[in-house]
Structure 1
């Protein structure tokens, strides 16, 4: 029996939510092919074309199993409203069953949760850590809080991210920052830590920055201010299907991934790195600690402490083989199979076949 669902998001961008949606569609294709998925975005902010291209590459739109919709005029077994309060009224007017998903790590963007109507059947988050945060911020929610855990589909058949088309080989060991270049993600802490590392290990490492830019930070100016131009490469945002190639290239060069982020709902980029067997160095916010649970002493450092960030980067490089073994174990907790377990549990709770 076919089940039809719709995921609604305000803007089609080039970010984490779209990667989450693609990952879910890949999991459905493998485990639950009877699910028919529609994506509906209120506005195109440049992300529809790359999303559609990725869907084609992954063969997700074969037999119309996954579609991007231009309007919200179908009947669904369940709609998932992802940080899009504007869509709640759409569902209420149509008597459409819906749940609300909160993925945003920006506190000011979560304020709408204080006004959720009683028609909302569940509030869904991407991790148990984020569920706890939401419960503390909004103790009077009208619906139970639960999880559809974020994941990386490393345990599914290969999605075409082989090394055949990887980036050029790096001349130094790369340190990758892969995320939005704003103050919350804090690439400046990595620049400061790298200055310290370069002083101790001159010419051994290089920086790679890849992600959407932000008016908050002029990254090239900050690189120049620290005299790191010859040791830093700023890449444009990569296509959805190319993220694996970038991470594989870093792994092949013996590199690492670094996230100095001040806030995450899950830490998808870090999870993608771990799933590609790239050792990581992460700020010790709760979402990061949860990703590397049991290996915090290897992979995390105190948030905002650039000296300890620099030292942790050095220690991971100096014990690289053990770090690779540790990420291979850490990735077991965020597989596609774990997401499917959560999905089935949610639909059982809501009594949807």
Structure 2
């Protein structure tokens, strides 16, 4: 268990400062390389690297993907040697390029289609939405790569993609209304004969390019849950808390100082940082103040409540409901007192002339 944590920390240090997209791709590549070693750096030598390189022959990777994996592993090996974690510099054992057998027809496995259909409804880019949807429906990537804007037709609030394979057999796929509507601005400005999916030079994208784009989406989807967990565990500055709450930093600073005994924090002075629990507790405090509760009432609730009471939305709602209930009860009591007072005054006025 300790070794796994050490490797994870080492990878994080190696990736520090790189763009987010590069970190995601390189992390996946290096973890794949380490898995071939059994996760044991003690087994890292030139024969082990040659065995890993031999796997490229039957994996049918795109040339660009293979070059990226080689670059990632070569950089990681150099980092390990510089840190003294391996005795020898093994970067020369990893070539800069490798002749690999590319898959003539990239395919999307049936087990991934459900994930692609779900991911197509979450991404923002209309073209990527369409690509994921068509691939998730089982449309072959060589057919998708030949798709032109003239092949997209409206149909009863949705759309239909009509294209043909290499044998000129027509293939039709229904495009959901949400994706179809997002494509409308592009349909209005793109030339009908232009390819829907283009490479950087404006030519039609290759099936291999589409397969690599789909792979990136699947990797990012797989990492999103872990990323959310890491975000919850990350310590925040006061500026970040103010941004999340949508409040001026001076206001958040005042609330922090006013309710400091009830807000978790790490460190002191300018190095002070706050866990996610502090954000939720401050959000709860702001909601209570807006509902009419006084700071003394909020402090009383924080003192009497369990430590995690204000960090969960359902509990915060329960506290707010309780405050509203107590205020309503107080209003009813005051109303009854006023009614009794009014009745007494009426009785006094009625007996005053007799005197």
TM-score when scaled to structure 1? Answer: 0.26
Structure having the higher Rg:
2
Judging by fraction of residues, say which structure has more strand: 1
